Structure 1
Amino acid sequence: MKLLQTDIKNKVLQSMMIILDNKREAIIAANKKDLDLFDKSDRAMYDRLIVNDKKVDGMIQSIKEVMQQEDPVGKIKSERILENDLKIQNKTAPFGTIMIIYESRPDVTIEAAVLAFKANNKILLKGGKEALHSNQILESCWHEALKENNLDTDWIKLMHMNRAETQEFLKNPSEKLDLIVPRGGERLIAFVKEHAKCAVLISGRGNNFLYVSKDANWDQSLKVILNAKTDKISACNALDKILVDTNIDGYEDKVKDLKKVLNDNGVSILVDDKIGKILPNEEAIEDEAIWHQEFLAMKCCLGAVDTLDEAIQKINKYSGGHSATIMTTQTDAAMEFMDQVDSAAVYHNASTRFTDGGQMGVGAELAISTDKLHHRGPLGLEQLVTNKYYVFGDGQIRV
């Protein structure tokens, strides 16, 4: 796709905001068709599927924030003149065509597309069948905005394919793909990695940990735990595992206190052997695989560790590499934890719920990357470009 001027891209985004506002009733009605067909027993997925007035307002706000951000394309990353007078610039450039595969959330159809388009990328959107009606009307809004500004609708395209067709497309794409971002559970990610022929940037599972150190402020810890666990269970930044240091003052009483606070707020717990001795009536963790699981539910695992090092080792062994928190009053311990834990975001005395593009000041995000190439963390506008070398000469040859 050709490079577009910034003002043209922003005009499309301005058009899109107006169209979303004017068509909000139709968008919500289309979403209701999806909600009526969905099995509400899967609360996390159902919550992600809902589109209401507040969600439409959020879509419009996401577009506005991206429109106001600086165009990431064509920025000089480095520049030098060599002894042979060659002038070399390293500049940002679009990826080309990005495909995102995602489940349930119709607002991804807005956030992913606005970011990709502003960064001058074509985007192929493969949403889940559970959001079919919602995604179709949002795609039609995008196409209307593009047509209003005399641009081809191929810039933003919803892929109408089932699982078998998607698998075949990944193996033998009918057009050039430069990057695929699977945004969903482990099965989806494994499916894409198995079949894709181009670069895949992983937006991994959550399974986030919080470690209460021996020097933690207990009241603060309870507040952070509750927020991280219960604020939004369908989010990938929600808390699933809690480790309590056995050397904290009043250890057994604090474990009982934590259990009561969690239960009083509707959170069920599973306990390891050490915690089970204090809470014998709670469900025991029988299978080690549970430590790897992202729950997306009102439950969590509660375990005990004897040292900071043990907490770090356990988190690095089982977490999804997304987010991890240490609760401690000791700065040195916090820095050791943050340096040693291998996650995209590490926290000191704060909720994992802040691992989000908007909350971190990045703005709208394509996903939270748990990969290490080319970026880890929120994939915002600045992360949806690659680089390109521009070499200016005057007849130089290599000798």
Structure 2
Amino acid sequence: MSLYLDIQTRNAVLNTMSKLVKEEEARILDANKKDMDSYDGDDIAMRDRLKVDHSKIEGMIDSLDQLAALEDPLGIERFRFTHENGMHISNKTAPFGTILIIYESRPDVTIEAAGIAFKSGNKILLKGGKESVQSNLVLVDLWHKALRENGAITDWVTYLQYNRTETQAFLENPTQKIDLIVPRGGEKLIAFVKKHATCPVIVSGRGNNFLYVDKEADAKMALEIIINAKTAKISACNALDKVLIDEAFPEKEAFVTRLISKLKEHNVEILADGNFSSMDDVSELTEEAIWYEEFLDYKIVIGQVNDLNEAIEKINKYGGGHSAVIISKNNETAYDFMNSVDSAAVYQNASTRFTDGFQFGLGGELAISTNKLHQRGPMGLQHLVTNKWYVHGDGQIRE
């Protein structure tokens, strides 16, 4: 297989794929219904991620269209130098080569993540979960049709229909060269991949996101943002899990009472530290370990902090390094918070639900990395590249 497809071909494949997804919506939905009917687990987050509906189909199409419209991330010059001996040296972006994406339940990953990897000039290996196999096989078939229609071989996108044992064997002793692995799923999947992989792994997907209500917060805004971040999509890694309220927040008790009432309307289980545990419809938080948990469920923790510094310390100790929010009308306080909190995305007065490659203008995301190398947060086209040195000479030798 050629290691390079020009940008015209890559964009043509993406445009064709967008057309095919739209034309084959009924076929995709029918395959997904088979997956949904076969799923017998009780994980509501898994079920939510597994389901494909018209809205998710539209999201797939939008992602493909946006990707096709973005600039080519390859061949971008990052550095240029002319040696004293006359050699011209430059550093340019280049594809990784082959990227393995291992994921649970989400058929839209077969479009969105694969599309980003493909636009970045990489060969893609997809290993989806058994719960979404029917949906994934249909979507990969569409990838192959789009590739063939544009004169490219189907090996650019390959689906690995392996069980757990076969996946472990492949990770430990790959039958082909793999340059990067991206696990998309829960902590157990990530730990499994890290344990057995023999090449670099990008850790992504874990949330445990915090929101701090500063003493100068707008109460109405804080309430609306918390409800949205917690309840809009509990299966998302950018959902909210913990709320910290400043001790000096005016009308604190009344605000917490309203917050609890709104959360209960959405059937959210509420745990609280000793400052709020005596309030109605709240259970007392008794184990410190819960502060570390990502819930992916209708569950939230509410606690109190003495000041901004304690909020920052608590988030940096317990948070997942994904997203953190301050609700405050004081821009200087927000500036200190955003610079001090150790998270991939930091917000002032907005919901964590926006930590998403498509929302950040990246045309979707390969992953939301909580690593610091080589990229942090939503990873789009410009982040899914490595680099290569180009040296042009006319016979120079080193003495």
Both proteins in one fold, TM over 0.5: yes
Matched residue pairs, number?
398
Mean Cα deviation higher: 131-140 or 77-86: 77-86
Mean Cα deviation higher: 76-85 or 352-361: 76-85
Q: TM-score when scaled to structure 1?
A: 0.97
Q: Could you say if the C-alpha distance between residues 82 and 211 of structure 1 is closer, same or farther in structure 2, counting changes exceeding 3 Å?
A: same
Q: What corresponds to 1:21 in structure 2?
A: 22
Report the Cα offset of residue 60 of structure 1. 1.6
Q: What corresponds to 2:289 in structure 1?
A: 289
Mean Cα deviation higher: 345-354 or 362-371: 362-371
Q: What corresponds to 1:42 in structure 2?
A: 43
Report the Cα offset of residue 54 of structure 1. 2.4
Report the Cα offset of residue 70 of structure 1. 0.9
Report the Cα offset of residue 397 of structure 1. 2.2
Report the Cα offset of residue 156 of structure 1. 0.3
1:261-272 matched pairs, under 5 angstroms: 261-272=262-273
Report the Cα offset of residue 265 of structure 1. 3.1
Q: What corresponds to 2:243 in structure 1?
A: 242
Distance 1:382 1:199 in 2: 18
Unaligned stretches of 5+ residues in structure 1: none
Q: What corresponds to 1:99 in structure 2?
A: 100
Q: SS at the partner of 1:92?
A: strand
Q: TM-score when scaled to structure 2?
A: 0.97
Q: What corresponds to 2:31 in structure 1?
A: 30
Distance 1:273 1:244 in 2: 13
Contact 2:182 2:202 in 1 (8 A): yes
1:294-305 matched pairs, under 5 angstroms: 294-305=294-305
Report the Cα offset of residue 246 of structure 1. 0.9
Distance 1:8 1:255 in 2: 55
Q: What corresponds to 1:11 in structure 2?
A: 12
Report the Cα offset of residue 281 of structure 1. 5.6
Report the Cα offset of residue 97 of structure 1. 0.3
Contact 1:189 1:202 in 2 (8 A): yes
Distance 1:133 1:281 in 2: 42
Question: Which residue identity lines up with residue 398 of structure 1 in the other structure?
Answer: R
Distance 1:98 1:204 in 2: 17
Deviation per residue, 1:308-365 (Å, 9 max, x gap): 1111111111111100000111111111111111100000111101101111112211
Report the aligned-residue RMSD.
1.3
Aligned residues with identical type, % of pairs: 56
Contact 1:204 1:320 in 2 (8 A): no
Q: What corresponds to 2:275 in structure 1?
A: 274
Question: Which residue identity lines up with residue 36 of structure 1 in the other structure?
Answer: D
Q: What corresponds to 1:353 in structure 2?
A: 353
Q: Does 1:375 align with 2:380?
A: no
Report the Cα offset of residue 275 of structure 1. 2.0
Question: Which residue identity lines up with residue 385 of structure 2 in the other structure?
Answer: V
Q: Does 1:364 align with 2:364?
A: yes
1:199-278 matched pairs, under 5 angstroms: 199-277=200-278
Distance 2:251 2:13 in 1: 60
Deviation per residue, 1:77-133 (Å, 9 max, x gap): 121212222211110000000011111110100111111111110011111111010
Q: What corresponds to 1:80 in structure 2?
A: 81
Distance 1:52 1:251 in 2: 41
Question: Which residue identity lines up with residue 84 of structure 1 in the other structure?
Answer: N
Distance 1:55 1:120 in 2: 25
Question: Which residue identity lines up with residue 245 of structure 2 in the other structure?
Answer: V
Q: SS at the partner of 1:302?
A: strand
Unaligned stretches of 5+ residues in structure 2: none
Distance 1:144 1:128 in 2: 23
Contact 2:124 2:156 in 1 (8 A): yes
Q: What corresponds to 1:342 in structure 2?
A: 342
